[in-house]
Amino acid sequence: MTPFATKCFSKPAIWIALSLILLAGGSPAAAQKNKDKKKDQPPADEQANFRSSTPDSQVVDQIVGEALGYWQIGDVESLHKYYADDVVVVSGMWEPPVIGWANYAKAYQDQRSRVTGGRIERSNTLSKVTGNSAWATYQFVYVAMVDGKVAQFHGHTTLILNKQGDRWVIVLDHSSIVDSSYANQAAPVADSAPLGQH
């Protein structure tokens, strides 16, 4: 490990932010702007009708974006509808995978309590649908305040989805960090709109 990486990853706060980003994937969605706008969303049957008339490749991309939107605003209840109950989440750290929705939700909430602000940009998304299985892979940049300091990560995420009944759910979420930085002092990161969406 390089001296820079050793210095960055020796701080407990960086592990928390790193774990948060590694436990999620996708693209910012309208859901992240205001979780109180749930009442403005179309009813579930309207969403199902839209999805049944839309090509699966577009539905998968939309699901990835919506899932990250709810992840970013901390809406675990809404996030659950995008993840299988037996999901496996693999982080880029040397640790066992998180198995099952209940374990994932607990780890997410515990770690989110130490992170403020935060925004993520998804780019270079590729996806493929074959029958009732699909995958999506993309690059991300994530910036957040961790214990009053700014942490930034660049990495890759790959999601495997299965179609269960009439809906797609994430069954495997695997992320890896390829670069990170950790600033001692910096301006706060607002809970505002994402950096961008590609």
Work out the pLDDT band at 136, boundaries 50, 70, 90: very high
Residue 188 covered by a domain: no
Residue 143 covered by a domain: yes
Q: Residue for token digits 């969403």?
A: 47
Distance CA 32, CA 75 (A): 9
Total structural domains in the chain?
A: 1
Statement: the pTM of the whole predicted model exceeds 0.85:
no
Q: How far is CA 97 from CA 15, 18, 25, 175, 184, in A?
A: 15, 14, 15, 11, 30
**Residue 159, beta-bridge partner list:** 136, 173
Residue 196 covered by a domain: no
DSSP summary character for residue 42: P
Q: Which of 124-128, 179-183, 192-196 has the highest mean pLDDT?
A: 124-128
- DSSP annotation string for 82-97: TEEEEEEEE-SSSSPP
pLDDT recorded at residue 49: 56
Length of the chain: 198
Residue 191 covered by a domain: no
Distance CA 157, CA 25 (A): 6
pLDDT tens-digit map of 3-39: 444 444 444 444 444 444 444 443 334 344 444 444 4
Residue 195 covered by a domain: no
Residue 164 covered by a domain: yes
Distance CA 138, CA 162 (A): 18
In 3D, which of 74, 59, 62 has the Cα closest to residue 23?
A: 74
Q: How many CB atoms lie within 10 A of CB 3?
A: 7
List the end-to-end C-alpha distance of the chain, in Å, as a whole number.
32
CATH number of residue 75's parent domain? 3.10.450.50
Residue 190 covered by a domain: no
- Residue 151: which domain range? 3-182
Residue 106 covered by a domain: yes
Interhelix angle 101-112/12-22, nearest 10 degrees: 140
> 178: burial class by Cβ within 10 Å (0-12, 13-18, 19+)?
exposed
Indicate whether 69 pLDDT > 60. Answer: yes
